[in-house]
Amino acid sequence: MSGLEDLYREIILDHYRSPRNRGELAVPPAHRTEGFNPLCGDEIVVYVDVEDPSKGADAVITDVKIGGQGCSISQASASMMSAAVKGKTVAEVADLTKAFKAMMSIHESTLEGEDAAPEPDDVPEVSLGDLEALRGVVRFPVRIKCATLSWNTLGQAIEEAATTTA
């Protein structure tokens, strides 16, 4: 339709065809968590290296690798996520996750005919970069779970890494 939409489609296809940070990490020290979206059959495996998890929110995600298979949205989202969170702190990743989910859910509520105004205090002001390309997904509510699967899996992986690493 619009030039922006074409650009978004290109970014998504690029991440789908050339996924970033694809592979595995040695476990341990890395942590491995699987996510599954039964609605679409998407599988995501997240390997995450959290440096010094005892630092909590200040701990740094030193490396991320992605495995699994599924639709283009789920795999492109996982690729974008891996590029976006690598080298960030747990707190920064939490902000990014919140901002990404806000982008998804704000539009979700629009589709339901509710007030779409976001709570300004709730949405961190962070740049989503390539992740903006997934904005169009909200027009297909059934695909939102495809886009958020990798983020939910990452969140679980970070949580588990913090509680299982001595």
Phi first, then psi: what are they for 155, rounded to 5°? Answer: -60, -40
**Shortest spacing between CB 74 and Zn ion, in angstroms:** 4
Q: Which residues bind Zn ion (CB under 5 A)?
A: 40, 42, 71, 74, 146
The runs of H, that is alpha helices, within 18-140 are 72-85, 90-111
We find the least distance from the C-beta atom of residue 126 to Zn ion, in angstroms, to be 25
Whole-Å CA distances, 137 to 37, 48, 141, 142: 16, 26, 7, 9
DSSP state letters, 76-107: HHHHHHHHHHTT-BHHHHHHHHHHHHHHHHHH
Closer to Zn ion at the Cβ: 74 or 79? Answer: 74
In angstroms, give the least distance from the CB of 73 to Zn ion. 5
CB-nearer residue toward Zn ion: 85 or 149:
149
Closest CB to Zn ion among residues 82, 150? 150
Q: Which is nearer to Zn ion, 16 or 160 (CB)?
A: 16
CB of 97 to Zn ion, least distance (A): 19
